[in-house]
Amino acid sequence: MEESDRVKNKEEIVIVLDVLPNGYHFDTRPSHRKTAIVQAVGKDFFTLLELVPKKEVALQPHEEVYIGEEKREKIHHIIGRLMPDRLTPTAKSELEFVVMDMVKKNEKKYVNFFNTARPLTTRMHQLELLPGLGKKHMWEIIEKREEKPFESFWDLKKRVHLMPDPEKSIVKRIMKEITGIEKHKIFSD
């Protein structure tokens, strides 16, 4: 990965999944040496991150927090990327709700994916990477978007015969990318 790619894919804002005010239970250090931990997911690239909040800052799940290069109001520092298997049970249960909410709030961006998706190889198309979409749906989506670009998830479902819920397909795909089930990344970093 080039330096320009790394800078380009930095998260600026994260959504809190879980807050561990006393750190991890498996941390064997004395309690006065432990720090609070925040598990969060990035808004732009769905990067799972482990953060340390500033002292006397109370964060809540689903709260949006700035972690960019400028002055951070609530986060002391970023520990780094978080592996999916290190998510707490609370963070795991909140993750899908947070992803669903982000997809709903950015509907235009994800509908645009259906309008602009391209072939990956001569045998595989980006649309086929979405759960529930096969070649028949892919060809019908391509045909209908050439007539007129899709305007919403509702428009997509209405115009493509027997189309699975496009919003749920996007969420399932993002969840597979975040958890490492899918190696080809479309929506996450």
Is residue 127 within 8 A of residue 137, CB to CB? The reply is yes
Cα–Cα distance for residue pair 68/9, rounded to 1 Å: 11
Cα–Cα distance for residue pair 34/111, rounded to 1 Å: 44
Q: Which residues contact 32 (CB under 8 A, 6 or more apart)?
A: none
Q: Do 111 and 59 reside in the same domain of the chain?
A: no
Q: Does any domain span residue 188?
A: no
Tell me the pLDDT of the chain averaged across its residues. Answer: 90
Q: Does any domain span residue 94?
A: no
| pLDDT cut 90: percent of the chain above it | 76
Q: Do 138 and 110 reside in the same domain of the chain?
A: yes
Split at pLDDT 50, 70, 90, the class of 185 is confident
The per-residue pLDDT for 25 is 75
Split at pLDDT 50, 70, 90, the class of 32 is low
Three-state SS letters, the chain? CCHHHHHHCCCCEEEEEEEECCCCCCCCCCHHHCCCEEEEEECCCCCEEEEEECCCCCCCCCCEEECCCCCCCCEEEEEEECCHHHCCHHHHHHHHHHHHHHHHHCHHHHHHHHHHCCECCCCCEHHHHCCCCCHHHHHHHHHHHHHCCCCCHHHHHHHCCCCCCHHHHHHHHHHHHHCCCCCCCCCCC
Q: Does any domain span residue 135?
A: yes
The per-residue pLDDT for 188 is 85
Q: Do 74 and 125 reside in the same domain of the chain?
A: no
Q: Which residue has the higher pLDDT, 80 or 181?
A: 80
**Radius of gyration for the alpha carbons in the chain, expressed in angstroms and rounded:** 19
pTM, rounded to two decimals? 0.86
Task: Give per-residue pLDDT as tens, 36-86.
Answer: 999 999 999 999 999 999 998 999 999 999 999 999 999 999 999 999 999
Q: Which residues contact 96 (CB under 8 A, 6 or more apart)?
A: 171, 175
The per-residue pLDDT for 1 is 37
Last residue of a domain, one of 86, 116, 137: 86
The per-residue pLDDT for 5 is 41
CATH code at position 161: 1.10.150.280
The per-residue pLDDT for 4 is 40
Its domain, for residue 144, covers 106-178
Task: Give per-residue pLDDT as tens, 10-28.
Answer: 899 999 999 998 887 777 7
Q: Do 110 and 71 reside in the same domain of the chain?
A: no
Task: Give per-residue pLDDT as tens, 130-168.
Answer: 999 999 999 999 999 999 999 999 999 999 999 999 999
CATH code at position 39: 2.40.50.140
CB neighbourhood size of 18 (10 A): 19
Q: Does any domain span residue 101?
A: no
- How many domains does the chain contain in total? 2
Q: Do 136 and 171 reside in the same domain of the chain?
A: yes
